[in-house]
Amino acid sequence: MSTLSPLDRLMPRGYVRQMFCFPSTHADVSHILKTSLAGVVADVPYLLSEIIISDDHRHISLSKPYQSLKDLFSEQDISNAVDYATLKQQHFPPSAFTVPGIIPPDTQPPFPNPAPVFRARLALVNRGFILCVAVHHCTTDITGFGALLKIWASYSRTSASTIGFGPDWLDRKALLEQFHASDQRAPASIPELLHVQENIVKPIGSSFHSPNWTTGIFFFPQKTLQSLKQAINQYIASQDAEGWVSLGDILTVLLWSAILVAESDPNTDIKGTSTIGFPVNFRSRLNPPLSPNYLGSAFVMAVATCLREDLIFAKNASLPSGDMTLDSASISALAKIATTIRTSLHQVDGERVRDVLLYLDAAPDNHPPITLGPPHDGISIVSWADQGAYELDWGSIIGKCDAIRLPKLMNKRYPIVLPRVPATADGDGGLEVIVCFDRPVWERFRQSWPICQFATLRCYS
């Protein structure tokens, strides 16, 4: 029987959930998805289980598998309400996914207790379909979620898993057994990648009761980001500095700056520092490493701190939209912040992760609530870019998805970088970012210099 790891039990008690949009209208879509899901369940039996939370909310466990495939998969015909071609023309706006019948039951607050580990809903629309998949966060992270999709697509494509699935995808004991085997002990004090939960810092400019939340999706073309990355790394090399920064580091800088521009009063909030949090997948950082397709939770939170004035340096940028010509001072500032983010990522190494896992494993039941990561200002930027969902081939009948979406959000949400969009004959590849702010903040985010210069608004609701 599968059990939850100490890190799994620290995850948010909700769902990792995505909507996948396919243009197929074949009559066998439902049959193929159901029969191929049976193969997934045979490989990953705990999908038939439930998450059980104790009455005092301090303990969480996984039940024995007892559900059936019928519990996991449902379908709904909403073709009278939703037209696929219209959705595609509008870049699949978030509001379209709030139509009743798209989201599987029991995967929205308030959650039942026990709560299902897995639910999927096939929504048939006019000229296509939407597949909504929800997996309880206490069993997986976004990388594990992507691995589950990889298994499902493989069975859908070939009626047999051909992706090298093995026990190491499932083995939650692997997180700790190597440390116990060498008789390593938990650190006496709480590790730097954890902290005791205290009062949550209210982010600057936040409004948690806004009646006017706006969800927007912005697109950053790959070619634009690649050119910016090249310019910044050339600058770093010109300063005789070692190291480099990634495209992801640079996008994090742009989004971080756009957030501060949107939420700050430029007359009073330019001084001081800003600290953000972001998840770091540690599968490859352990020794020996976990499988890259390990299905459990395997990330920790890192933080980066920079001067606010460095982050808001171009608040009055007047370059026309799409003109990415930045002066040397701007390139220097971007390089400085991106290097800070890269340094923070490097600090998540095997030793620090070991300390986290051993400490969580040894923590007594009466330990004060623990939160992942050092404290930060409440701003988090999450990336699903490497999920690889667009590349999945679900077979000749189902095909590949056109878009991956979340529904219109009704709460504030700092940027989530959606799975990387590959280049096609119809358009350039790049990265989509979804955010949700109350309308005035959203407008300032949209009009901020990083968005105006490097992104386009795809849709909003």
- Does residue 152 sit in the same domain as residue 214? no
Question: Which tokens hold the place of 315?
Answer: 């608040």
In-domain check, residue 187: no
CB 58 within 8 A of CB 365: yes
**pLDDT by residue (tens digit) across 29-56?**
999 999 999 999 999 999 999 999 998 8
Residues 201, 260 within the same domain: yes
Residue 319 lies in a domain: yes
Q: What is the pLDDT of residue 178?
A: 79
Among residues 263, 267, 292, 265, which one has the least CA distance to residue 276?
A: 263
Burial class (CB in 10 A: 0-12, 13-18, 19+), 351: exposed
Angle between helical axes of 29-43 and 142-158 (0-180°, round to 10): 120
| 264 within a domain of the structure (yes/no) | yes
d(CA 9, CA 58): 9
Average pLDDT, the chain: 91
CB-CB contact of 115 with 136 (8 Å)? yes
- Angstrom distance (rounded) from CA 31 to CA 23: 16
Distance between CA atoms of residues 349 and 217, nearest Å: 33
From 181, 202, 220, the end of a domain falls on: 181
- What does the pLDDT read at residue 318? 43
**153-156, Cβ contacts within 8 angstroms, sequence gap of 24 or more:** 153/392, 153/393, 153/394, 153/395, 155/35, 155/36, 155/37, 155/38, 155/39, 155/40, 156/32, 156/33, 156/36, 156/394, 156/395, 156/398
On whether both 107 and 146 belong to a single domain, the answer is yes
- The torsion angles phi and psi of 93, rounded to 5 degrees, stand at -65, 145
Helix axes 439-446, 247-263, angle to 10 degrees: 130
Q: Compute the half-sphere exposure of residue 192: CA atoms within 13 Å on the CB side of its CA.
A: 8
Same domain, 339 and 416: yes
Any domain includes 380 = yes
In a domain, 398, yes or no: no
Query: Counting beta carbons within 10 angstroms of the beta carbon of residue 234, is it exposed (0 to 12), middle (13 to 18) or buried (19 or more)?
Result: exposed
Residues 231 and 144 occupy one common structural domain: no
172, two tokens: 């939650």
pLDDT score, position 256 = 97
Predicted confidence at residue 206, as pLDDT, reads: 43
Residue 430 and residue 171: Cα distance in Å, rounded?
A: 34
Buried b (16+ CB within 10 A) or exposed e, 312-346: bbbeeeeeeeeeeebeeebbbbbbbbbbbbbebbe
Q: 140 lies in a domain?
A: yes
382-383 and 413-417 strand pairing:
parallel
Q: In what order do the strands lie in the sheet with 15-22?
A: 73-77, 118-125, 128-136, 15-22, 403-405
Claim to verify: residue 143 and residue 248 sit in the same structural domain: no
CATH code for position 59 = 3.30.559.10
Q: Are residues 215 and 69 part of one domain?
A: no
Strand order from edge to edge, sheet including 50-53: 60-62, 50-53, 115-116
Q: Which of 147, 181, 215 is the last residue of a domain?
A: 181
Pair 17, 165 in one domain? yes
What is the identity of the amino acid at 134?
A
Please tell me whether residues 41 and 129 are part of one structural domain: yes
Beta bridge partners of residue 36, listed in sequence order: none
Q: Residue ranges of the chain with pLDDT lower than 70?
A: 1-2, 159-161, 199-210, 266-269, 314-325
Could you give the number of structural domains in the chain? 2
> What interhelical angle do 247-263 and 222-238 show, nearest 10?
100
Q: Which of 254, 227, 258, 220 is nearest to 432 (CA)?
A: 220
Do residue 87 and residue 234 come from a single domain?
A: no
The confidence score (pLDDT) of residue 179 equals 81
The reply to whether 289 and 432 lie within a common domain is yes
Give the C-alpha separation, 317 to 123, whole Å.
44
Pair 252, 366 in one domain = yes
Domain that holds residue 89: 8-181
| Pairing outcome for strands 379-380 and 273-281 | parallel
Q: Is position 188 within any domain?
A: no
Is 402 a member of any domain? no
- Final residue belonging to a domain, choices 181, 204, 238: 181
